Amino acid sequence: MSREEEGAFDRRGAVLWLLSATLVVSVAGLIYELIAATVSAYLLGDTIRQFSFVIGIFLASMGVGAWASRFVVDPVAGFVRAQVGLGVIGGVAALATFFAYATVGAVALPLYGALVAVGLLSGMEIPLLARVLKEIGAARFRFENVLSVDYLGALVASLSFPVLIVPNLSLISAGLAFGLLNLAVAGGTLWLFRDRLGWADRGAWGGAFALVAGLLAFAVPLGAAIDARLYEDEIVYSDRSAHQQVTVTRHRGRTRLYLDGAVQFDTADEARYHEFLVHPAMSVAPRRARVLILGGGDGMAVREVLRWDPEEVVLVDLDPAVVALFRDRDDLSALNGDALRDGRLRIVHADAFTWIREGEDAFDVAILDLPDPRNLSLSRLYSVEFYRLLRRRLSAQGVVVTQAGSPMFASDAFWMVARTMETEWDVTAYANYVPSFGLWGFALGVPPGLRSDLRDLPEGLDVLTPEAFAAAQVFDAQIGPRDGPVNRLSDHALPRAYEAGWSEWFE
């Protein structure tokens, strides 16, 4: 092979490598963005706001990085150093953010600081790669070809993140794994252009690779150590499902369930919540043969419903991981009295709004054990439109009850839920003190003319009595009934009221 032929062969190999690198770095960059958005939503709440902030800040930083790339003298060295920086900063960002949150309670500075740095370095990649391709004399080089590969990488990342990455890797492990990908690109480019780069760049790359690879090897124990600082109790289970982080802790015989870091129940006081949620609706319902439960994948609400000996209970919960955990593990199944193993129970894993809209079965009682309406997706389940759909799924004398948040910490939101339900039912609002949550409220909806005072109750209840239910309907002047709007899909007033109430108390 002649020298000219060898040069052409090397050039073709370099072009192939650089275009492949474009795909890889595009995937890694968007994965970092998605990890940052997920971490911010997990730790700071309000998914819509956090995803919007992350996307905006990341894209703006990329723009600045693209502009700044013109000042890089050597595009090959600049590209390699950008990859090393991305491998370290992007790879470690999730780990550093969780560590900061667990130790000092800080989130915004490490999260958004890393996001800006990753955005700046990501913005430099494509301009630098284009310059390198031009310098090596790539045949028929066109800038739009590089952009096409970059956009293809974005598609690969956006599809793989929810389908492959989140179900199989923790956010910490995912960040470190893609950090290694950036460092692999840097290593391949170092070797390809070894005549142009010195030992300083090779040493920096080697140190960075060793750091990120070492952290990835110990990602599981590191995550467990961070969890141990986040939760005061012994962690008996912790994993991320396709939908949320699921953690179960235990201390002195008390078991707690956390979803995305928020406590869902504590066995020391869960009866004060579940008895008030379930039994008023079951008591006032003229018929209770078929019962629908939305949410409540831990099985506690199912346990209380089964006290009434219904013919069938349908549980609709989005996350199969939670249901499987509290059905299949004997120690956790015992907490719900093996309710999730009962032959009268039918379990459906689906989005509640879609399932209500598309289904046809009718129910006598609907119990809504749903997450708080802290974002637009959850707000749908507290809207006029949802309640109208739900009303069509109930029998003529069907009864519905929903948890409605705290009338103490988010009074406007609590009463908005009650007013929204009043578009379809006569509503009784009531509240009970649950130490894990504070004063917690519920809204009971019955058809016009149906009495809502308690009649027979099952034996063996720990908390609820007719007298306690009557007292729970009394609100003082500070948190008492309030006028205002209802919650509709067109405006989603509820998440704003919810956020404003909790922020006033805790920020």
What is d(CA 98, CA 57) in angstroms, rounded to the nearest whole number? 20
Q: Indicate left, alpha or beta for 291 from its phi (over 0: left) and psi (-120 to 50: alpha).
A: beta
Q: Reduced to 3 states, what is the DSSP secondary structure of residue 95?
A: helix
In the predicted structure, residue 6 carries a pLDDT above the cut 70? no
For residue 7, pLDDT over 60 is answered with no
Regarding beta strands 262-266 and 254-259, do their DSSP bridges make them parallel or antiparallel, or are they unpaired? antiparallel
**Confidence (pLDDT) at 209:** 95
Task: For residues 281 and 276, give the distance between their C-alpha atoms in angstroms, rounded to a whole number.
Answer: 9
Residues present in the chain in total: 507
Q: Which residue bears the tokens 């939305």?
A: 294
Q: Which residues contact 426 (CB under 8 A, 6 or more apart)?
A: 445, 446, 447, 448, 449, 450, 452
Q: Where are the beta strands (DSSP E) in 424-502?
A: 426-434, 438-446
CB distance 90 to 182 below 8 Å:
yes
**Angstrom distance (rounded) from CA 446 to CA 449:** 8
Across the chain, mean pLDDT equals 90
Residue 1 pLDDT > 60: no
The per-residue pLDDT for range 30-42, each reduced to its tens digit, is 999 999 988 887 7
pLDDT (0 to 100) of residue 262: 83
Question: Per residue in 410-421, pLDDT tens?
Answer: 999 999 999 999
Rounded mean pLDDT, 297-302: 97
pLDDT digits (tens, 9 = 90+) for 226-270: 877 777 778 889 888 878 889 999 988 899 999 888 889 999 999
Cα–Cα distance, 143 to 132 (Å, whole number): 11
Q: Any idea which of 141-145, 182-186, 440-444 has the lowest mean pLDDT?
A: 141-145
Q: What is the pLDDT of residue 138?
A: 64
Under 8 Å between Cβ of 249 and 434:
no
The percentage of the chain sitting over the pLDDT mark of 70, rounded to a whole number, equals 95
Q: Parallel, antiparallel, or unpaired for β 290-295 and 312-316?
A: parallel
CA distance 416 to 116: 38
Cα 265 versus chain centre, distance = 18
Cα separation, 191 vs 207, in Å, equals 16
Dist. CA 46–CA 252, nearest whole Å: 33
Whose CA is closest to 447, among 338, 301, 287, 292? 287
What is the band of 406 on the pLDDT scale with cuts at 50, 70, 90? very high
* Beta bridge partners of residue 432, listed in sequence order: 440
Residues with a catalytic annotation lie at 369
Residue 44 pLDDT > 80, yes or no? no
Identify any residues that bridge with 258 across adjacent strands, giving them in sequence order.
Answer: 247, 263
Band (pLDDT 50/70/90 cuts) for residue 148 is confident
As a whole number of Å, the CA-based R_g of the chain is: 28
385 neighbors 489 (Cβ within 8 angstroms): yes
Average pLDDT estimate for 30-59: 84
Say how far apart CA 237 and CA 247 lie, in whole Å.
6
Phi, psi at 294, each rounded to 5°: -105, 125
Distance (Å, whole) CA 487 – CA 160: 35
* Cβ(260)–Cβ(283) below 8 Å: no
Task: Give just the sign of the alpha carbon dihedral 106, 107, 110, 116.
Answer: negative
Residue 168, pLDDT score: 82
Mean pLDDT, residues 429-452 taken together: 94
Rounded to whole angstroms, what are the CA distances from 169 to 32, 161, 227, 323?
Answer: 14, 10, 16, 20
Q: Which residue has the tokens 């070492």?
A: 214
What pLDDT, in 10s, does the model give residues 449-486? 898 888 889 999 999 999 999 999 999 999 989 999 99
**Left (φ > 0), alpha (ψ -120 to 50) or beta: where does 342 sit?**
beta
Q: Which residues have a Cβ under 8 Å from the Cβ of 500 and sit 6 or more positions away?
A: 410, 412
Instruction: Round to whole Å and give the CA distance between 87 and 118.
Output: 9
pLDDT at site 163: 83
Contacts of 380 (CB under 8 A, 6+ apart): 353, 386, 489
| Predicted pLDDT of residue 61 | 94
The residue that leads in pLDDT, 155 or 46, is 155
DSSP assignment of 207-223 equals HHHHHHHHHHHTHHHHH
CA atoms of 116 and 97, how far apart (whole Å):
14
pLDDT tens by residue, 366-378:
999 999 998 888 9
